[in-house]
Structure 1
Amino acid sequence: MQIGRFQPPSRQIVVYGQPAGTALTQILKDFWATQAVLVTNTSLARPGGLADKVAAELGDACVRRVDGLAANSPRADVVRVADALRSRGIEAVVALGGGSVVETVKAARICLTNNVGDAADLDRLKRSTTAASPRPYLISIPTTLSAAEYTQYAGITDERTGVKDAFHHPDLAADAVILDPEATTATPDALWFSTGLRALDHAVETWCSPVRAPYADATALHAARMLARALSRTKAEPGDLAARLDCQIGAWMSIQGATIGISHGASHGIGHGLSAVTGMSHGITSCIMLPHVLRYNAAVNADRQAVLAEAMGRPGMPLAEVIAALVAEFGLPSRLRDAGVREEQLDAVADAALASPRVKANARPVAGKAEMMGILQAAW
């Protein structure tokens, strides 16, 4: 008999299938917001690019832009965005881009309302349990499949150490998310497919978690089913907007377990260690590590893995091989050495991974450093 307690994730508006401009205009009206800051990265801010189009849709409501946000959400960018939000009368911020952009903006909002003055002062929020709620309203227009806009935490890189720290608040997720497949058409293939594999990793590790909840199981299974098919459709026909929207909806569903407290496992935990030591993106860490973690875990959850493989259209095939086949189909790295990791770095990666709560939550316990090195050596 199942025993549990369900608490719905943060209240959030998700608009899907509408043009971003149409949805954005309506959401600003819903929020009674008349002044907004537009935040994006360098590639989307090029002349005539997507940021210019969104700024034009905002019209006079766009009172300031912050461009040039870096990958992996460094603290310096968080402070830069927080400073922009301090302008008088700002009622909303629009985050345009992938996970790094929205994570930066999420953290900037909590910095603003808690009077964080500089990058070092962010340390205070890591320890605080009484942080004030983030403001202003956050509207996210994602261009990748990272799903960072749905979570109540932000991963921010401390430039002093290279480590990504997690900042939590129950209201940290975006207030509104606009899923416009047209906004993803300029996303480079490698980024689109690697973040798609990251979303699959969310779904797989939620489904395979030893801690289960009906809501998490249902959304993870649906996400895996959608993503496995829709990603391949976008590979065959990049302009298929219906398939791109299915990918976006699949990414949305993939992370729902995490929003109610279901922990991911060793693929995510090792991925965080790899990012800290080597700078590898989380999408690529999922491409490489998820098949190896699934093989390691098969001793304790092969039955659960088989259900996912069938849902993804490959009944009878080991789930690790289903994922590996998708990685190969999309032309992504499948070995750590192919992603630039040196063998002498594995020891430091193992130490960082073993400290991760997600490794500790893995379906099959990783007994110690020798077992962790075995997983990493197989992936190298």
Structure 2
Amino acid sequence: MRFDTLAVHGGERVPGPEGSVVFPIFQGTVFTSEPGESYHDIKYHRLNSTPSQVYLHDKLAALEGAEAAVATSSGMAAVTTILHTLLGAGDHLLVSDVLYGGTHDFVTAHAARLGWEYSVIDPQAPDSWEVRQNTRAILVETITNPLLRVGRLRDVVSFARTNGIVSVIDNTFASPVNFRPLVAGFDLVFNSATKYLNGHSDVVAGSVAGSTALVEKVRHTLNLYGGTLDPHAGYLLARSLKTLGVRVRQQNANALALAEFLVGSSKVGAVNYPGLPGHPDHEHASELLNGFGGMLSFRLAGGAEAAEVFLSALTLPAVAPSLGGVDTLITRPAFTSHAGMSAEDRAAAGITDDLIRLSVGIEDVEDLIADFATALDKV
């Protein structure tokens, strides 16, 4: 089945319980047990094994092209559970030099305390990557936040396989509409499902997908740490997955149109969007991705002061963190998503105080462009 058909029908029960077409919420936490069940297979909510959870997991797996998937209580629960599953004391991790702020903070602040070692790599420079005897995994992002770089992802897959380590990718910015990492050869993919997978800014969730063997290991770790998704949030996420393709394609088109508009303005100093021919990763991103996503970032020629004036003059976008929803959101990452990083780390990553990040929604793009034009006139 093609993606939009999978989004609607993948993982569904036909017929559903009591003949339902829309799978119901199983709010209960107590279910009868079967003789011989293992601990992790008992139907209990914290163990991620109740009917609502299994249904959601099957739907997530279908969209990712995965053997198995598991939902988590947040995107951070997804990545931290993966790392706790793959790494033990004395193990080594390779991580991209640009990561979501929360992931960066977790690795840099807690690796030593947990007995892990890590090395930072440039995902654009495969020849510089080196494994150690104790290297267990490599962690990268499909499209980085907030500069929208696309790494040499095929090289990551090849490198991991050659060296016998697990390849892990954060696909939040792309979503499975624009890129399916498991189909491309990655071992594990995770998303902050709070963003595009849910897409309505009303659920916090995460997802992990991969082979049955790896996902079961992740689920067992998750069961012990307790990062379980609430039944009602899981229901809302499953509902939202059915419109994922429709939403993301509109966001792709809107973001490209806005990026092209901004590039043409004398008030704008730089635009970061991989769909633009001038983007440093445009060529290989075009080969990897089915769409360039709904995220872009830019800097105004007038610097941080101009950025403040511009944000205040907009009427349609909400000035707010987070991303991936049907509403357009705009923010300055140095003061939101990456505020936990040191000023030195932000500067090294190119996250300046005047950088503006835009999460494009599904509004009519002509209305968005008109609003941006009016705001730029006031800068």
When the two structures are superposed, what TM-score results if normalisation uses the length of structure 1? 0.36
Greater C-alpha Rg: 2
Higher relative helix content: 1
When the two structures are superposed, what TM-score results if normalisation uses the length of structure 2? 0.36
